[in-house]
Amino acid sequence: MSSLHGVVIADFSRVLAAPYATMMLGDLGAEVIKVEQPGRGDETRTWGPPHFEGEATYFLSVNRNKTSVQIDLSTRAGREQARELIARADVVVENFKPGTMKKFGLDYESLGRDDLVYCSISGFGSGKGADLPGYDLLVQAVGGLMSVTGPGPQEPVKTGVALVDVLTGLHACVGILAALRHREATGQGQLVELDLLSVLLSSMVNQSAGFTLAGSIPQPMGNRHPSIAPYEVFPTIDQPIVLAVGNDRQFRRLCSVLDVPELATDSRFLTNPDRVEHVGELFEALSARLRTRPAQHWFETLTPLGVPCGPVNDIAHAFALAESLDLKPTATIGDMTLVANPIRLSRTPVTYRLRPPKLEQ
């Protein structure tokens, strides 16, 4: 039996953050009924290329283990159909613009069910930020993530995926599971609220704490780390490689393999704070040696010695690496190969029961 067997989720979400959350819960065994706009469905059904047999892979990436029902919430009949669905649900998830579900009489207060777990996700909260559009790129910009990402202050860069949406989806899962545990103990549901901006500020961890505790306002450092060195991308004879040296012991081993043991006793590089202070000089010294061999040579030589390093892989090589480590990074549903859920449970493993639903006409 799955962990969430018997839990029914009325899923009014679209795009990424909330659908990611409901997919994760579906993988854990919940029954997820996805409510979609008649004739159009989730916006991401049209977000392509790429496609798989005519379906947008964006939509397919976050909607397995769900069934779909088309409901027009703008009509009285549609709203009644939605209420009937919610009446048999344990959890409601929605990420409309704040106030939308209230307009339909489907918000937490209007439903008036004391045992209902109701999760609302917005861009900037339901208060003064309610009218701001909650797009991941926008939140990365105004939330500070782009200010610390990129080669320099004049070249802010977004992450290569909608990372804030994914993080928000994961936080939503935590909140929903906590609320379900509370309901199990007390019989009472509750409202679970998340907004992308707050999730981002929390997820920036050390960068955020540097500001709240020390007033430090970080700047983009390219691939360097503000507090660790060497911890960045280096050139080799064929492709870039990452070194992630977290302590002095690892640094001494690195210097030995590179045949520059003198660097380990150099006063500029003796301790991690010293290396951070002289990171530019350290980069030049290490690059001169790393450029003499291929990335795979350094990976195979340094890794057994406990020096964290690895080539900068494209996604195909990343999946190949996971396969080689027997991590089983994919899951198959019929003729469809999707990314596997990364949670491994020994007694109640995740299951892959349903392909992402088609929008039936």
Catalytic residue positions, numbered? 165
Residues in the chain: 361
Dihedral (C-alpha) 108, 109, 111, 112: value to the nearest 10 degrees? 120
pLDDT band at residue 166 under the 50/70/90 scheme: very high
- From the list 49, 46, 20, the residue with the least C-alpha distance to 34 is 20
* Lowest mean pLDDT across 73-87, 164-178, 217-231, 238-252: 217-231
Other Cβ atoms within 10 Å of 198 Cβ, number = 18
Alpha carbon distances (Å) from 39 to 19, 42, 307: 19, 10, 54
**The predicted structure's pLDDT at residue 318:** 94
pLDDT band at residue 13 under the 50/70/90 scheme: very high
Q: Edge-to-edge strand order for the sheet containing 91-94? A: 66-70, 31-36, 8-12, 91-94, 117-122, 190-195
Residue 11 has pLDDT above 90, yes or no: yes
- From the list 233, 209, 235, the residue with the least C-alpha distance to 222 is 233
**The predicted structure's pLDDT at residue 151:** 87
Task: Give the tens place of pLDDT for each residue, 198-213.
Answer: 999 999 999 999 999 9
Residue 315 has pLDDT above 80, yes or no: yes
pLDDT band at residue 131 under the 50/70/90 scheme: confident
Task: Give the tens place of pLDDT for each residue, 85-95.
Answer: 999 999 999 99
pTM of the model: 0.91
The stretch 108-129 carries a mean pLDDT of 95
**The predicted structure's pLDDT at residue 201:** 97
**The predicted structure's pLDDT at residue 222:** 86
Tokens, residue 112 = 């008036």
Residues facing 92 on adjacent strands: 10, 118
Query: Mean pLDDT in the chain?
Result: 95
**How many CA atoms, within 13 angstroms, populate the side-chain half-sphere of residue 361?**
0
* Lowest mean pLDDT across 9-18, 127-136, 312-321, 338-347: 127-136
Other Cβ atoms within 10 Å of 44 Cβ, number = 19
Q: What is the DSSP string of 269-300?
A: TSSHHHHHHTHHHHHHHHHHHHTTS-HHHHHH
Helix axes 196-203, 163-186, angle to 10 degrees: 100
Residue 122 has pLDDT above 80, yes or no: yes
* CA angle, residues 345, 350, 355, in degrees to nearest 5: 165
Helices (H), the chain: 17-27, 57-60, 76-87, 100-103, 108-111, 136-142, 163-186, 196-203, 205-214, 248-257, 262-265, 272-277, 279-290, 295-302, 315-324
- From the list 312, 299, 321, 294, the residue with the least C-alpha distance to 254 is 299
Contacts of 65 (CB under 8 A, 6+ apart): 23, 26, 27, 32, 351, 352, 353, 354
Task: Give the tens place of pLDDT for each residue, 51-83.
Answer: 999 999 999 999 999 999 999 999 999 999 999
Task: Give the tens place of pLDDT for each residue, 174-193.
Answer: 999 999 999 999 999 999 99
**The predicted structure's pLDDT at residue 361:** 47
